A and B are shown apart, each in its own frame.
Chain A
Amino acid sequence: MLMYGLVASAVRERGDSWLIGESETLKQVAITTPRDALYGRIVEEVAELATQELAYDGKGNHSATNTVFFLQTDDSGRPPLWVGPANNSPFIDAIRRLKIREHTAVSIRMAGWRSPFRVVAADLDPQGDAGAGTGRIYLGLLDTDAQKLLFDLLLWFFFGWICMVGFGFLTAILGLRRTLKRVDAITTAAANIDTADLSSRVASASQPNDEVARLARTFNTMLDRISASVNQLRSLTDSVAHDMKSPITSVRGGLEAALSTDDVDLSREYVAKALDHLDRLSEIVTTSLDVAEAEAGALRLRRERMDLSELVGRVAELYAPAFADRHQILTTYAQDSIEVSVDPRFLTRLLSNLMENELRYAGEGAHIEFRLSAIDGLATISVQDDGPGFPPELQNQIFQRFVKGHASQGYGLGLAFVKAVACAHGGAAHAANRTPLAGVQILIEIPMVLPSENLHKTIHDETLQGIAS
């Protein structure tokens, strides 16, 4: 619309400039030509020339639409001079009514004419000699061509505008359809998910890298995590079922035996043993659930800021008598204070598990070292002993659930729990035999609190993101 306005006014201006130019010419003629009998004829001729100039349209066509009139009014009482259409009185009346400023074109509508006339005026000043006198000349041009031109222009602009809008619309619709198709792909993938089949994923194109692509990627990642959790759960239920069957069988056997004997004391013994097995069973279930929760990333940590050195010291103190009883020598090396942000209950169990393992498997008289250090924001707990080490055939499975040596009396969950807790805190666990030396080497890493975090004994609720295995 703006464009149209600009172009239209430019067209208008050009037309008006011609008119004004011509009127000036005629004005000069009127001023310089003495007003005598010839004057009228001269002006008439010039006007006619101008008319014809236009009428001929530059194309050699006699265009009837170019109609020009010339009017000269005179204050000195002489009759007005008119060149133009025959019936001049409505013109003269109309012009007389209007106050047309010099060199400003106005449009005048005349009855009986299709288009308005574009009229300019020029004042004659009394400088001319030979009594040209004061007065005005008016030059008018029928506006049909200009009108037609402007109208056509308007049509073209309108058409152009429609096209643009239509094009834009089309582009928008196509773009939207494409995006919606991509969204639909995600919806379909989601609908295909079934607990039996978690393999559904969205083929995410790398480009365009927009919100939809991000949604697709996030969706896939989410499914990966869920799939991992479900698999963990499945493997847990498998192994728990397997490991629980032994104690359950023992309980059953014991109670059956108790029923079948008449000896009261013997019966009681069987029952007591069955109770023991039940306790073991209970422990297996509880610990398995803890480990499974930790591994599946469902552990809720309540972090507190604390000194790891102090915690290790406390736990070591509790275990010291037990170590002493086995003639094992426990040495703790720790820096003065190592600030960490951890859940104290889980860390305590982690340390306790490590110590229990040493108690049970390092062997009588073994030397056991707990070494604490902090490097580059990572707190490290290193456990070393000179005992028999891990059974060689289990080297690769040390942290797996239910993996234990033949001689082991435990349930094989201790180190699995240790690793799960370390990972839950964003850390890691490593273990190996200290070849060629004797014994084991276990390394637990836990990220420390960075001073910039500026926690002040606050307690955080944290949900795991997932375990880097």
Chain B
Amino acid sequence: MRLLVVEDDNTIRDFLIRALTEGGFRVDACAEGKEAERLAVEGVHDALVVDLTLPDMDGLDLIERLRAQGVSAPVLILSARRSVDERILGLERGGDDYLTKPFAVAEVLARLRALLRRSTPGQPEATRLRVADLELDLIRREAHRDGIELQLTQQEFALLEYLCRNAGRVVTRAMVLDHVWKMRIDTSTNIVDVHIHRLRNKVDKEAARPLIRTMRGVGYVLKD
């Protein structure tokens, strides 16, 4: 997987390159919009990481231009602007996800992987998800483990669905708040943990193999 990082701050760019490389990606990087445009339109990148405050143009303008020129790879926006309006605007103008600074590296990695999963071509909209012996029927909103139906609330099902869609990838608390519950609240809350805990009780308790695991300091992952 090849990434393009557009970030004008040297320190941040360097550590992003390092972190993403360690995370298994091939990384190209540049520090300004014009250069980014030149590199991006070649179309060889699987995802882009774009900082909004660039020296020669606004990051949102850059994304719009890339979209207009046919760049369809998912874009993760990095920004110090944290207002809700900015976030909505970023997503409307062509971004696929939005992270405010400061961010944890793990957060960047987790979100990028989630974006990449979505953009893999040739995958039809699934009506069923399956990980090991866990099966989710997305139409009837039912979950079964080893043939036995799990009694889940709506919230719990939504959470499980998100974990399944990102199976094998780390899901952070912030991602759950943003994408599952769509609530921008104080991330120092522990309600995500509480929900995961309950979910895990229902999903993993009886079964032989635990599927929902905790990644300390980062988040959770569902995998065999």
Cβ contacts under 8 Å, A325 to chain B? 194
Tell me the nearest residue of chain B to A299, going by C-beta. B83
Docked complex Cα distance between A283 and B186 (Å)? 8
Task: Tell me the residues in window 182-223 of chain B with beta carbons closer than 8 Å to chain A beta carbons.
Answer: 183-191, 194-195, 197-198, 217
Docked complex Cα distance between A353 and B189 (Å)? 10
Docked complex Cα distance between A322 and B196 (Å)? 11
* Residue A272 interfacial (CB < 8 Å): yes
In the complex, what's the smallest C-beta–C-beta distance from B103 to chain A, in angstroms?
9
Task: Tell me the residues in window 309-329 of chain A with beta carbons closer than 8 Å to chain B beta carbons.
Answer: 315, 317-319, 321-322, 325
Is the beta-carbon distance between A345 and B184 smaller than 8 angstroms?
yes
Is the beta-carbon distance between A322 and B186 smaller than 8 angstroms?
no
Docked complex Cα distance between A287 and B83 (Å)? 11
Docked complex Cα distance between A325 and B185 (Å)? 20
- Interface residues of A, dominant DSSP: helix
Is the beta-carbon distance between A348 and B191 smaller than 8 angstroms?
no
Set A300, A321, A345, A349: member contacting B198, Cβ < 8 A: A321
Tell me the nearest residue of chain B to A321, going by C-beta. B194
Indicate with 1 or 0, residue by residue over A355-397, a CB within 8 angstroms of chain B CB atoms: 0100000000000000000000000000000000000000000
Is the beta-carbon distance between A317 and B189 smaller than 8 angstroms?
no
Docked complex Cα distance between A300 and B198 (Å)? 37
Tell me the nearest residue of chain B to A345, going by C-beta. B84
In the complex, what's the smallest C-beta–C-beta distance from B201 to chain A, in angstroms?
10
Set A278, A289, A302, A349: member contacting B102, Cβ < 8 A: A278
Is the beta-carbon distance between A318 and B187 smaller than 8 angstroms?
no
Indicate with 1 or 0, residue by residue over A396-440, a CB within 8 angstroms of chain B CB atoms: 000000000000001000100000000000000000000000000
* Residue A237 interfacial (CB < 8 Å): no
In the complex, what's the smallest C-beta–C-beta distance from A357 to chain B, in angstroms?
11
In the complex, what's the smallest C-beta–C-beta distance from A237 to chain B, in angstroms?
18
Docked complex Cα distance between A322 and B155 (Å)? 14
In the complex, what's the smallest C-beta–C-beta distance from B187 to chain A, in angstroms?
7
Docked complex Cα distance between A414 and B190 (Å)? 15
Cβ contacts under 8 Å, B191 to chain A? 318-319, 321-322
In the complex, what's the smallest C-beta–C-beta distance from A387 to chain B, in angstroms?
19
Most buried by A among B85, B186, B188: B186
Is the beta-carbon distance between A349 and B217 smaller than 8 angstroms?
no
Residues A322 and B194 in contact in the complex (CB < 8 Å), given A278-B102, A286-B82, A302-B85 = yes
Residues A322 and B102 in contact in the complex (CB < 8 Å), given A300-B85, A349-B184 = no
Docked complex Cα distance between A103 and B183 (Å)? 105
Residues A283 and B187 in contact in the complex (CB < 8 Å), given A321-B194, A322-B194 = yes
Docked complex Cα distance between A287 and B188 (Å)? 11
* Residue B15 interfacial (CB < 8 Å): no
* Residue A282 interfacial (CB < 8 Å): yes
Most buried by A among B104, B191, B197: B191
In the complex, what's the smallest C-beta–C-beta distance from B153 to chain A, in angstroms?
8
Indicate with 1 or 0, residue by residue over B98-117, a CB within 8 angstroms of chain A CB atoms: 00101010000000000000
Cβ contacts under 8 Å, B181 to chain A? 318
Is the beta-carbon distance between A348 and B183 smaller than 8 angstroms?
yes
Task: Tell me the residues in window 125-178 of chain B with beta carbons closer than 8 Å to chain A beta carbons.
Answer: 153, 155
Is the beta-carbon distance between A353 and B186 smaller than 8 angstroms?
yes
Set B155, B184, B190: member contacting A317, Cβ < 8 A: B155
Docked complex Cα distance between A300 and B89 (Å)? 14
Is the beta-carbon distance between A322 and B190 smaller than 8 angstroms?
yes
In the complex, what's the smallest C-beta–C-beta distance from B149 to chain A, in angstroms?
20
Cβ contacts under 8 Å, A278 to chain B? 102
Tell me the nearest residue of chain B to A302, going by C-beta. B85
Most buried by B among A279, A321, A349: A321
Is the beta-carbon distance between B194 and A272 smaller than 8 angstroms?
no
Cβ contacts under 8 Å, A352 to chain B? 183, 185-186, 189
Indicate with 1 or 0, residue by residue over A332-349, a CB within 8 angstroms of chain B CB atoms: 000000000000010011
In the complex, what's the smallest C-beta–C-beta distance from A202 to chain B, in angstroms?
35
Docked complex Cα distance between A103 and B191 (Å)? 115
In the complex, what's the smallest C-beta–C-beta distance from A241 to chain B, in angstroms?
19
Is the beta-carbon distance between A318 and B188 smaller than 8 angstroms?
no
Cβ contacts under 8 Å, A414 to chain B? 186
Residues A349 and B185 in contact in the complex (CB < 8 Å), given A278-B102, A282-B102, A300-B85 = yes
Tell me the nearest residue of chain B to A410, going by C-beta. B188
Set A315, A318, A356: member contacting B186, Cβ < 8 A: A356
Tell me the nearest residue of chain B to A348, going by C-beta. B183
Docked complex Cα distance between A317 and B104 (Å)? 29
In the complex, what's the smallest C-beta–C-beta distance from B176 to chain A, in angstroms?
11
Is the beta-carbon distance between B183 and A287 smaller than 8 angstroms?
no
Cβ contacts under 8 Å, B153 to chain A? 317
Docked complex Cα distance between A349 and B137 (Å)? 32
Docked complex Cα distance between A280 and B102 (Å)? 11
In the complex, what's the smallest C-beta–C-beta distance from B215 to chain A, in angstroms?
14
Docked complex Cα distance between A353 and B185 (Å)? 8
Docked complex Cα distance between A393 and B12 (Å)? 45
Docked complex Cα distance between A283 and B217 (Å)? 16
Most buried by B among A315, A322, A353: A322
Docked complex Cα distance between A315 and B182 (Å)? 11
In the complex, what's the smallest C-beta–C-beta distance from B68 to chain A, in angstroms?
26
In the complex, what's the smallest C-beta–C-beta distance from A328 to chain B, in angstroms?
12
Residues A318 and B183 in contact in the complex (CB < 8 Å), given A272-B217, A356-B189 = yes
In the complex, what's the smallest C-beta–C-beta distance from A349 to chain B, in angstroms?
5
Tell me the nearest residue of chain A to B217, going by C-beta. A272
Cβ contacts under 8 Å, B195 to chain A? 318, 321
Docked complex Cα distance between A152 and B184 (Å)? 92
Docked complex Cα distance between A278 and B103 (Å)? 11
Sampled A-B contacts (12; CB under 8 Å): A279-B104, A283-B186, A283-B187, A286-B82, A289-B82, A317-B153, A318-B191, A321-B191, A348-B185, A352-B183, A353-B186, A356-B189
The chain B residues found within 8 Å of chain A, CB to CB, are: 82-85, 100, 102, 104, 153, 155, 181, 183-191, 194-195, 197-198, 217
Contacts A317-B155, A325-B194, A349-B184 aside, 14 further interface pairs with beta carbons under 8 A come to A272-B217, A278-B102, A283-B186, A289-B82, A302-B85, A318-B183, A321-B197, A321-B198, A322-B191, A348-B185, A349-B183, A352-B185, A356-B186, A414-B186
